[in-house]
Structure 1
Amino acid sequence: MKIIYNRKKCKHHLLDFNGEHNHDLHAPICVHLLRSQRNITESQAVEVDLAYDAGLTQKKAFDLFGVKSGGREHVGFLPLDKKNYLRTKRERGLQFGEVGSLLMSFKNQALQDPSFFNAFQLDNEEQITNIFWADGRMHMDYKLFGDIVTFDTTFATNKDHRPLGVFIGFNHYREQVIFGASLLYDETQSSFDWVFNTFLEARKFKKPITLFTDQDIAMGNAIRVVMPDVRHSLCTFHIMQNAIKHLGNLMKDDSCFLSDFKALMFEFEDVTQFEKEWEALLKNYKVRGNSWLERTYALKEKWARCYMKTTITLGVRSTQLSESMNAKLKKSLKSKLDIPTFFKLFAMVVSEKRYREVEAEYNAKEKMPRVKVSCLPLLKQAGKIYTPKIFELFKKQWEKSLLALVGNKQDKGRLEEYLIVSCDEEGEYVVTHDEENATLPCSCREFEMVGILCGHALKVLDVLGVKYIPETYILKRWTRGARDGCALEDDGLDIHRNEGLDLSDRYRELWPDVVRLAHKACEVKDGYLLYKSRMKELDK
């Protein structure tokens, strides 16, 4: 086709036209591959976004479109178009740079969640170095379960390779709960100082009772400065790994060094016995003067069982909570992610963890624990008030009480002291009964550390003829009603999303109804025709 432009008349004129094709036509089966026939509609764009948010790979997402459309040729676009769409959208989202986009993202979260908290640290050139954030649910979880916190850092979750630090605890179902997260510039003491201070600021300076970390020196120094009254404990798993790293030469062949060292961490409850066994370890393996062992021994109050008896741990001895979370993050997040995309996918991982509590809640109400000895009111009571995992821990202590014997009883005024010995464990334990104050402390300090009555105390309750767990020894954080009465934050703000929904939110709300109605309409021909005609009317 030839066109000329007449300048005098200011008009275009068709000069020549040849209606025959000057190239071979594509077969009808290939038409959908032509660029002119490919287009991502607005509705498809929303589905592409949702598939990306769900973490589907490019191939899996496109396969899903193909199944829904009745074949890849009916989708209307190619995988390359989908990839270009996502790249263009990401570039548009970064038009103000990563930092600007991050600030906009935090601003939107604050509008949706009034309790959302975020903070930045700037360097001398006013560049962001460290970032901390926590949403309303994290605040509420910390209020309920923030007595024991683990903190660990991981790498390779974003393209800047910034260390990701996550504050984690566990709820009444012993499922992970996240209290806050931070992206650090580095792992120096100044960065940790800022993160710990900011964490406490977000919590209105309510401190945890015990904080577990690895053996990072900078982290330990920061805790000592920022939270001197918090009990800092070391992860036993990291200590074991460091022992293998520094003393691997002692673990060859049939050496028992690792098992002997492990016993020092977990087995000895008496300080004198621990010190005796430590000396035996140094002598037997000829490691006296080893610098790593000397540094580790100097911190024995943070890892040895006999010194941890005065520490509230709730059964935690390592940063395993943080490590399992970090493993999940590394699996879900890729190192090539920009910061805003990283935050989006991090929120998805957090949501997945929270859903575990929903499942645990459902299972707890669907499956009440079976009590084989149905005539025991103590176990019946425990089954009703404790969550399933805590009930199993309590039942183990009750089984221990069956093997326990009262070796001696002494009356000391208003106090009664019971000497308890067991058939399956060494040592003697003293349980003191104070009837006036309704207390029953045991020298093993199981309740003080874990929050569950020990078998020794349960034996004394049985001797006293007490058939129910005293209210004093029912820790609310372990009960099924741990969240009761805590729907509001301290400032009275409800933790929920605002009513203002964006395009993706509206799509998610409408889509289930659309699918349900379409399925129902297709069951009969008249329904199908009615649905199709009404959809055409709505489309207009």
Structure 2
Amino acid sequence: MSEPATENAADDSWVPRNDMVFESDEKAYQFYCLYAKEMGFGVRKHFVKRRSSGLVYSRVFCCYKEGFCRSLKEGKKPRPDSRTGCKAHITVRIMDDGRFRVTEFDPNHNHELIAKANETETEPIDKPASVKKAAKKNVNYRSISRSYIPSKPTNFTDDRVPRVDMEFENDEEAYNFYFNYAINIGFSVRKHLIKRRASGLIYSRTYCCHKEGHTRKRDEQVQERNPKPYDRSGCLASMTIKITKSGRYRVIVFEPKHNHALVVPTKAHLFKWQWRRGLIKSPNDQRLSSEQAETQVPTSITSHNKNAMMVGDVGAILQYMQEKQAEDPFFYYALRLEQDDQLMSVFWTDGKSKVDFDYFDDVICFDTSYKTSDYRRPFALFIGVNHHKQAIIFGQALTYDETVESFKWLFEAFKSSMCGKQPKLILTEKSEAISNAIAEVWPGTIHRFCVWQLYNNAVKHLNFVFEGSTTFAKDFSRCIYEIEEEEQFVSEWKSLLEKYDLNSNTLLANLYEDREKWSLAYERHAFYGDVKSVLVKDNMNDALKKYLDSENLLEFFKHYENIVKEQLYAELQADFNARQGLVKTHASRMLRQASNVYTPAVLKVFQAEFDMSIDYMVYNCGQIGTVFEYKVTAEDHPNEFIVTFDSSNGSIFCSCKKFEVAGIQCRHVLKVLDIINIKELPPKYILKRWTKDAKATNQGEVTDSAVNSDSKSSKSKRYRTLCSLLNKVAEKASGTVESYNFVENLSDQLMDQVCKLLLQSARPEKPYR
């Protein structure tokens, strides 16, 4: 059994050892290959272990003589390098920061090692292929008699010459940079090697000279179909980039030397080989500058982004809308056509959605995650939250373009379908077109970015960080979803960027710049209704993905209706449980009050706040008139919260502003109420939208504007109010046969009475005699 050589003992940095750390498993493999070349053996990639996401978390690289040769079939040529069961290997395993650490290293071989490739011309029969290739590559490189080093042309600055450690936003930007460099130097570029992770992410690319490699020898009698206009010469000029933790690409290798004569760019049209991208067309044409080449737009691309409508979609849409309108008299749909009568947008909603919006119009989410998930149809949903903390749908749309005009039309259609009402707050993706449309169409509506959609977008564009670290997802989720204090958010966001080396990441920089539009630590005066947790829990992406790609749009509509029916059944079941379920007896008066008014889902949240309030301590900070101020703290929580109570009107406020954001009183207020001997919640701090009676209708609620407005608009306002009222009655009465028969029997009497009133008001006055 051979032992490792002891030469170069003074510098053993090239020898593997336990706890060595590499940026990736590929780096570890390259290091072990260099070690193997020095020692005199070949390397094989042995074991690989992956997580369910496809991420490699462990690898074993072994000697090429590991294991034993399998029994060969008769007549099959035996391998010259028979295996000997060698145990020499190295094992690397991923760490929390995405790097790989050496966990095992066995240097002992049970066979003789071979001489270095560059020290002998005689190669033994059992010399490994990896060493042979390395030797051949070295000989070819040394046999080059002349190397051509490009000289900089006039007005060619150093910042246009590649260099190691240069960084680019993406691999395409790096290619454009190297391509422009090649144009000015006098050679053409080919995309050579590409390496991807299991997720498809490109983590390494090599761009080389057009004369890289060697031209294959072909039979002179066989005529090649598309012969190359030039012969390759094995040129080694190239540039290699690799992805960094921040998502940018860094130049790790740049070889400027060519083994062939370069071409003067102004004479390139005289040579057989052509420049890439058609930048040179004829001797009289002038080469376009890189700026001109990048700014030219094909004439086939229109001024706005259009998603191609599939064949048969228009007919399916019209058929579905007509059928639904026949079933539901309150069904509403709108179509947007372009000047060439091309269908660009569709919006529709039904009677139940209108009733739900009348009750829960305080917050909605415009969910466009379907159009950003590479589905074939650009589906979008208007989603709200009901009193059971369940997702409810107010409307849906197919938007085949994403311009400001398209979104303006869509929001106008939604407003018209809801009898002129608009939401108090809307959450959307981060989009300039959507923001501009909302500002113009719904000026009184608060617009914020949806953190759930921001998180999904980050997962898509930062997958190299999510897959490379086991802790990033948890830390990023905390910054996005949980932190409610401004100072704490700023501190933890900066720590996140430092920990994962993401200070130069453009996506996260833009998110931080717009933090006041999405972070829970800012703008805590608006009501959100905990829509974030509802979207995470009731997400329909997976259920709709398959059918959004279906060839038949009617199949998608059918499947979508089944999902809506499941949601309706879940809501009815929650209503029944809230009304008929057993109410747990509580020792506290406040909990008994909450269990009587709140739905079970909301009661669960309230009880959690009540239980947490027990561990808090209260300090009296003083009094100004009828206003008392208290400081509330907890032993395990460094933050202090200020609660003010006005004894004149019973108003109470907390600096955490949980009630303003979620509509449920916080633990700090509950603790102060207990200290000042108020054992029940004041009625004004129990939002009707969270109670069991959230959808109870008061038939006397008719706005004065609908009754006493001027004659020009009074009829339309009364009509909209009556539609809303009768729609609520229809929605409730259709639940059972008995309630339906009751309303149907009264309808004739109601119509007779209405006709009498109309006749009395239309009776002509008696003429004067």
- TM-score between both structures, scaled by the size of structure 2: 0.47
- Give, in whole Å, the separation in 2 of the partners of 1:342 and 1:258: 33
Deviation at 1:311, TM superposition (A): 2.8
Aligned to 1:465: 677
Aligned to 1:491: 722
Aligned to 1:357: 571
SS at match of 1:494: helix
Aligned to 2:425: 210
Q: Does 2:587 correspond to 1:370?
A: no
Deviation at 1:408, TM superposition (A): 2.7
- Give, in whole Å, the separation in 2 of the partners of 1:178 and 1:457: 33
Aligned to 1:413: 625
Larger relative contact order (Cα-Cα within 8 Å, sequence gap ≥ 6): 1
The one-letter amino acid paired with 1:359 is Q
Q: Pick one of 580, 599, 607 that aligns with 1:395.
A: 607
Residues 342-395 of structure 1 show CA distances to partners (whole Å, capped at 9, x for unaligned) of: 445433432221111111111223323424xx3321111111100000001010
CA contact (8 A) 1:411 1:417 kept: yes
Deviation at 1:98, TM superposition (A): 6.5
- Give, in whole Å, the separation in 1 of the partners of 2:416 and 2:621: 50
SS at match of 1:411: strand
The one-letter amino acid paired with 2:722 is D
Deviation at 1:412, TM superposition (A): 1.3
CA 1:230/1:174 → structure 2, altered by over 3 Å: closer, same or farther?
same
CA 1:345/1:277 → structure 2, altered by over 3 Å: closer, same or farther?
closer
Aligned to 2:616: 404
Aligned to 1:431: 643
Deviation at 1:204, TM superposition (A): 3.0
- Give, in whole Å, the separation in 2 of the partners of 1:117 and 1:322: 28
Deviation at 1:216, TM superposition (A): 4.3
Aligned to 2:595: 383
CA 1:252/1:108 → structure 2, altered by over 3 Å: closer, same or farther?
closer
The aligned runs of 1:50-449 (5 Å cut-off) are 99=314, 102-103=317-318, 105-107=320-322, 109-153=324-368, 161-250=376-465, 256-317=471-532, 320=535, 324-330=539-545, 335-339=550-554, 342-371=556-585, 374-449=586-661
- Give, in whole Å, the separation in 2 of the partners of 1:465 and 1:249: 55
CA 1:269/1:110 → structure 2, altered by over 3 Å: closer, same or farther?
closer
CA contact (8 A) 1:145 1:169 kept: yes
- Give, in whole Å, the separation in 1 of the partners of 2:524 and 2:682: 22
CA 1:299/1:98 → structure 2, altered by over 3 Å: closer, same or farther?
closer
Further displaced range: 259-268 or 397-406: 259-268
The one-letter amino acid paired with 2:726 is D
CA 1:319/1:475 → structure 2, altered by over 3 Å: closer, same or farther?
closer
- Give, in whole Å, the separation in 2 of the partners of 1:318 and 1:224: 26
Over the matched positions of the two proteins, sequence identity in percent amounts to 35
- How many residues get paired? 397
The one-letter amino acid paired with 1:366 is Q
The one-letter amino acid paired with 1:370 is K
Residues 90-111 of structure 1 show CA distances to partners (whole Å, capped at 9, x for unaligned) of: xxxxxxx865675465445445
CA 1:215/1:399 → structure 2, altered by over 3 Å: closer, same or farther?
same
Deviation at 1:297, TM superposition (A): 1.0
CA contact (8 A) 2:384 2:393 kept: yes
SS at match of 1:207: coil
Further displaced range: 259-268 or 409-418: 259-268
CA 1:168/1:298 → structure 2, altered by over 3 Å: closer, same or farther?
same
Q: Does 2:696 correspond to 1:476?
A: no
Extract unaligned runs of 5+ from structure 2. 1-311, 702-719, 732-769
- Give, in whole Å, the separation in 2 of the partners of 1:322 and 1:110: 31
CA 1:317/1:228 → structure 2, altered by over 3 Å: closer, same or farther?
farther
Deviation at 1:200, TM superposition (A): 1.7
- Give, in whole Å, the separation in 2 of the partners of 1:323 and 1:139: 20
CA contact (8 A) 2:385 2:391 kept: yes
- Give, in whole Å, the separation in 1 of the partners of 2:692 and 2:483: 33
- Give, in whole Å, the separation in 1 of the partners of 2:324 and 2:494: 56
Q: Tell me how large the CA RMSD over aligned residues is.
A: 3.2
The one-letter amino acid paired with 1:403 is D
CA 1:345/1:400 → structure 2, altered by over 3 Å: closer, same or farther?
same
- Give, in whole Å, the separation in 2 of the partners of 1:197 and 1:164: 18
- Give, in whole Å, the separation in 2 of the partners of 1:338 and 1:278: 43
SS at match of 1:288: coil
Deviation at 1:249, TM superposition (A): 5.0
CA 1:337/1:153 → structure 2, altered by over 3 Å: closer, same or farther?
farther
SS at match of 2:655: coil
Residues 477-514 of structure 1 show CA distances to partners (whole Å, capped at 9, x for unaligned) of: 0000011016897224633879xxxxxxxxxxxxxxxx
CA contact (8 A) 2:547 2:556 kept: no
Structure with greater Cα Rg? 2
SS at match of 1:427: strand
Deviation at 1:254, TM superposition (A): 6.0
Aligned to 1:452: 664
CA 1:469/1:323 → structure 2, altered by over 3 Å: closer, same or farther?
closer
- Give, in whole Å, the separation in 1 of the partners of 2:389 and 2:465: 37
The one-letter amino acid paired with 1:494 is L
Deviation at 1:331, TM superposition (A): 5.7
- Give, in whole Å, the separation in 1 of the partners of 2:326 and 2:456: 44
CA contact (8 A) 1:155 1:161 kept: no
- Give, in whole Å, the separation in 2 of the partners of 1:332 and 1:283: 42
CA 1:317/1:107 → structure 2, altered by over 3 Å: closer, same or farther?
closer
CA contact (8 A) 1:151 1:319 kept: no
Deviation at 1:296, TM superposition (A): 0.8
